A and B are shown apart, each in its own frame.
Chain A
């Protein structure tokens, strides 16, 4: 095909319009595929309405409601099913979300609230629902997750549960209560966010199940909302250091499962934290809440009640944070840091030194859950990148302090948004302009609009395959994330591979 002058001056809309890509004459900035300029109807919004603190409307929220976190937590327990005391949508939307992120089936039961429940309360729904669920699935644990509607109606869950238990005993005999455990997680959707929901679930599970017996020389890990790959990486580090652990809400065995036929019926994943392990959590040496916003409540409860020291964050992502985690582990257990871990760290440092020319000075923006956003910001700063807009969709007590410390250390003054919405953050990016966005899949819109490359990380990522199997924490995870960042920059800035030959 002959390349006409028009084609060169304007942006080439579709790379498939060209039968052959000419090397000379087209500069790289023009060679973008399927990207849109700012939408035609875009007009800058009134200045005073951009900061989310100055308006009541929330546009494109980056956080969801508490029950989600409690359901996520329950997914990580072996043979546990969440029973959601609310309308059908409260479970269906969540099951969609799990299916899309993890590509795994997710069984969550609903109380099926209808008009009668809204008027008369959800007592009948809970009592009958628990019975039906046990009959159909024979779960080992049922966590009762409340929602906005049940909390507004004022359902007395504890009493309802007592009644349900009585009926179960009457029907199936007293042994039924040994076979099925119950945990109540109170998560009114109109407060907090999914991160807080996970936090509350951690406390509720420990409070209900953990019992002091005798020391077990293990450490408790409350991972927070990180990927199955991340959890495996944490276990890998612990194994190298020869430390036994209890991983609470271990989704690596439930939301990333092998396909091996024939499958048992009904389908239950093999993995997940065993109930006996949660009971044993009261006997451990220490509790690590890797994500301080999702897990602190559980760790602090263990500290107050059973005098088990709590280590709250930071998420071991990046060099500094992983150093801290490994050192703390060594300090508490008295085990030395093995050569292998030092080598893994060395490999990450080596990779960073090899790629510093690609990353130094690039401006970036981050959006996500507070712990992940703070840790990713620190890692990107370690790579020599410059933060511009850092947002946590969830209100967090530690996030601002964490990011502030990082930026002080590296000498940057970014915009830090706590409890913001995507709209505010996007306007900030439009105004400042960045080279790279680090965020979840909902950042695709702004990435397209401003033609900025996007590295997907955090919750939720549903438009890329294998994300949930990779680790981003630890030294090896850091190396993977670094490669992801550099390759994304390469693809975006120098899309024609021939320049690298």
Chain B
């Protein structure tokens, strides 16, 4: 019909520079950090989404969305969990006359309804940002009146190229207005104290990390933001070390805390056996607890020996494909290729930056495709042409993959899957990958 097909993406003719294949020779990276082209069915989301993703688990705060009702409705569910949400539910007359009066009144009422809240987050969405509501001055006024910090999270959906902007905005707010505002008064500590940045307590993952660290002899103070309350975050600057887990969303906070409070940070990952062991060893070595870490690793590895015996031989050589937010891209590639002896055929991310792609390039084997901000039909084409045995990504990709007859492992994982990190979590993950590949349904399809 039309000449359209020339513009269509095909694997033979890679026209776009946001996808490339790893070859021998110098490092090349897909173009990233760009705005998505309009009309593309992108998997990305907006800054508000990113900010909610970060801040939703903070439980002793009021989360107030200043904007039309839809944003609050969607934002009340984060990672499959429902949180209480307050909103101004802007209407036509607020758009015409400005929503400032409504916001003032709403703040007062919200505080009356939830008097034990220690802080109020006010999310600014597209509409008030475009009509130019002066949210900052309202919040300053309310702060005095209500006697608790009222923090403006300026995250209208059109800011930045994707939700990663929202992640940064959220951490910026925490860093500027909450961290370091209080002192715990404790002077002496017998055990080292660390913060964890970028863990979101999916199915109790935070508790798992805490128990591993505590067995080495390290206490965890605050987990951003999987287990964070205002009190803990306020004195998070007293920790000895920051452990950075999600490197794309949390790096800003880790670097800022290093600069301002002199707290060093370590990039760690508890995903996959080799990375978990490596991380524990490095943390142990940092605090002079190397022997304890080694013992823990030996103990725990023994417990999941059956995984190595029963599952991994069957998974060997199977093809996997990945598409994630950003940080999991290379983390998972390691786990799949090194620990599970599988082969990754393509890996991509919605909003990875140069450093994440550099890491991915280094970890990838030859022939692996790297793709940034894949659209729906690019994923479809890749899955169709490369025929992986299993695909991993988010909910939106899940059912497309099933429609093409390819097993899927969902991230963040659903409730029944349990945690995926640490040693036990690795066993859970391997079992789920096994299920996704070997389910009888694919033979029946």
Contacts and interface: CB of A to CB of B under 8 A. Distances in A.
Interface of A: 41, 43, 45-46, 49, 55-61, 63-68, 81, 83, 86-90, 92-97, 99-100, 103-115, 117-118, 124-126, 128-138, 147-149, 152-153, 171-173, 175-176, 179, 188-191, 193, 257, 259-263, 265-267, 423, 442, 444-445
Interface in B8-53: 8-9, 35-49
B352 interface: no
B396 A96 contact: yes
Given A88-B157, A176-B2, A112 B88 contact: no
B72 interface: yes
Interface stretch (B112-120, B230-238, B301-309, B418-426): B112-120
B377 interface: yes
Given A87-B46, A111-B38, A56 B102 contact: yes
Interface stretch (B125-133, B255-263, B282-290, B329-337): B125-133
Contact of A112 (B38, B49, B91, B102): B38
Q: Count chain A CB atoms within 10 A of each CB in B1, B102, B162 and give the residue with the most.
A: B1
Given A86-B126, A137-B377, A261-B405, A61 B69 contact: yes
A312 to B, nearest CB: 25
Contact of A135 (B8, B41, B84, B158): B8
23 contacts: A56-B106, A61-B73, A65-B69, A65-B73, A87-B46, A93-B70, A93-B74, A96-B396, A99-B395, A114-B160, A124-B38, A129-B37, A130-B39, A134-B2, A136-B7, A149-B126, A171-B3, A176-B2, A190-B127, A193-B69, A257-B403, A263-B403, A265-B384
A179 B403 contact: no
A118 B1 contact: no
Q: Count chain A CB atoms within 10 A of each CB in B70, B89, B131, B404 and give the residue with the most.
A: B70
Nearest to A194: B70
Contacts of A444: 82
A193 B89 CA distance: 11
Contacts of B42: 88, 92, 110, 112
Q: Count chain A CB atoms within 10 A of each CB in B38, B72, B384, B399 and give the residue with the most.
A: B38
A56 B109 contact: yes
B398 to A, nearest CB: 7
Given A68-B70, A114-B161, A259 B402 contact: yes
A128 B39 contact: yes
Contacts of A136: 4, 7-9, 39-41, 375, 377
Given A95-B396, A171-B3, 19 more contacts: A59-B86, A60-B85, A88-B44, A88-B162, A93-B49, A100-B395, A114-B159, A115-B158, A129-B40, A132-B40, A133-B39, A138-B1, A138-B2, A148-B70, A152-B95, A263-B404, A265-B380, A265-B384, A444-B82
Interface in B77-126: 82, 84-92, 94-95, 102, 105-106, 109-110, 112-113, 115-116, 126
A58 B39 contact: no
Interface of B: 1-4, 7-9, 35-49, 64, 67-74, 76, 82, 84-92, 94-95, 102, 105-106, 109-110, 112-113, 115-116, 126-127, 129-131, 156-163, 375-377, 380-381, 384, 395-396, 398-400, 402-405, 445
A266 B85 CA distance: 38
A133 B161 CA distance: 19
A104 B48 CA distance: 25
A124 B156 CA distance: 20
B72 A61 contact: yes
A112 B86 contact: no
A64 B92 contact: no
A243 B60 CA distance: 58
B158 A148 contact: no
Nearest to A104: B399
Contacts of A65: 68-71, 73
A108 B41 contact: yes
Contacts of A133: 39-40
Contacts of B156: 87, 118
A57 B74 contact: no
Contacts of A87: 46, 126, 156-158
Given A56-B105, A56-B106, A138 B4 contact: yes
Given A59-B113, A136-B375, A267 B395 contact: no
Nearest to B43: A92
Contact of B35 (A59, A112, A132, A175): A112
A74 B51 CA distance: 29
Contacts of B95: 148, 152, 190
Q: Count chain A CB atoms within 10 A of each CB in B46, B82, B92, B131 and give the residue with the most.
A: B46
Given A57-B110, A136-B375, A152 B396 contact: no
B68 A148 contact: yes
B400 A259 contact: no
Given A136-B375, A259-B403, A58 B157 contact: no
Given A89-B48, A189-B68, A58 B87 contact: yes
Contacts of A135: 2, 4, 7-8
A446 B123 CA distance: 25
Nearest to B93: A190
Q: Closest 6 CB pairs between A and B?
A: A65-B70, A89-B46, A87-B157, A132-B39, A129-B38, A129-B39
A97 B127 contact: no
A130 B40 CA distance: 9
A84 B36 CA distance: 14
A302 to B, nearest CB: 28
A482 to B, nearest CB: 28
